[in-house]
Amino acid sequence: MNSRENPPLLPSSLVVGFAASVAMWCGWYVLHLPGFAAGSKASALMLGLVLLMVTAFGGAQAHKPGHREGWVVGLIAGLISAAINLLLLGSKVVEQPATTADLEGLNNQLRPDAPVIVLGFFAFSAVVGALGGFVGSALARTRPRHESWLATFSIVAAVSFLPLLVVGGIVTSTDSGMAVPDSVTTYGSLSFLFPLSLMAEPRIYFEHTHRLFGTLVGLTTLVLAVWVIGRSRAWGWLGLCIAMIGGLLLAFAARHADTLDQTPAILVMGSIVAIAFVLMIWGIVRAKSAQMAGLLVVLVVGQGLFGALRVSEISTPLAMAHGVLAQLVFGAAAALATLLNIQDRPVQALPPEQTRRSIRSASRLGPWVVAALILQLILGAGYRHTASHAFLGGHVLFAVFVAALAIVIGSQLSTSERYSDVGQRSWRCGKALIHLVSLQVVLGVVAVALVAVAGAQRPIPLAHELEHAAPLPMMEAFFATAHQATGAALLALAVTIAVASHLRSRQH
């Protein structure tokens, strides 16, 4: 039987497993927030419900009349999510010292019952996943449309960037960027074996979990790249991307070992990242998904290494570059997801002239909106990291132009008819752009007002200063992070519109 009659188990299970992991990581983050931390039983129950719901939805999507693969998809997805979630479980299966000083000598030391906990975790995930898949398959009433699991996985990969950006924004907003003294490990422990007991200190929790979410994004992006490149057999691009990653790692290792000065190391790494972005844009223009997938991994690795350098060098410019680069990489992930979904889910019918006209207009204005948002991002990041009034003034004034331009393109897309598939998607993108811009303006006004009330910029406490650090500015941090995250979503949506309108214009 072909894939339409009997869906392939591994692709569907990969999508569901990674989607479940992203959702569970978000739930885990909230459930373990300092001052709110839920107990082990409550946490297991809530995360089990998340896994059950995601695998039920996946089982319904994978269901075909006359077949009962849903429970198998759920079972495999549960095991995949369990393997990924070991990166979080590691914090529970190590010895739990009371302070970071007590950690010395206990780094990476597993509890005696660690194997039992891990085996029980895998069994629990497998059972819940299989149950969810079975329920979803049993409740599925109609034959779903032909599913491109690779295209769906690209959406999961792009979405995985958003919680990373939110967590990173919290790190900046709460002055937590230097709460962990070492850049490669966490207080001498492997990141996924850092004790949960030591995350009771809020700033350590925010910075450490930011690193963990970066690992999740890196793993998801790597799987996506292997899948796309393997399907396309673009081995030349694979070799080039491996070489670029090697260059990044060598430059970072040389700087970490103090055999290369800071400036040459940053120049080498920055040049590789810049080349990757140029080639990524070229890949978008040429609609080469394999090229883009490989380069996305290069960008993710570069972004992570710049984040590590920011800690080891205690550098504000590197912190700013790290923040800006994060959103640009998110935009690149959105571009790849857009391309794969248009390529793997082609629309056969020609959309009406009204929709084609709005798409042509968006293809002309889309790149300008993206460019304007990037400049606005740089101005905003400059103020967040330096408290310079010049950056703030530029950010506020330029926001008027950016908002007007985004509303223009959103209004044009909103004129698309809604009875064709392309027209409906264009209309939704236009409305979403207008609503996001409006929300962003409101959040920006509130964030600026709160920052103005707070007064002078606070110093970022180092690891040995945490005990006497100022209280966390929770209200300011909430609105500043919401403003930053909405800006990231706005940039990703603008990139999606620009790429989709470019590809649709070529098709029609």
Tokens 């885990």: give the residue. 28
**For the domain 353-455+474-508, what is the CATH code?**
1.20.120
Type of residue numbered 11: P
Q: What angle do CA 153, 154, 159 make, to 5 degrees?
A: 95
* pLDDT score of 4: 44
Query: What are the backbone angles phi and psi of residue 110, rounded to the nearest 5°?
Result: -75, 150
Residue ranges, the chain, pLDDT below 70? 1-7, 63-68, 141-147, 346-349, 454-456, 507-508
Domain ranges of the chain: 7-146, 148-346, 353-455+474-508
CB 242 within 8 A of CB 113: no
Chain center to CA of 262: 28
CB 507 within 8 A of CB 446: no
d(CA 402, CA 370): 9
pTM of the model: 0.94
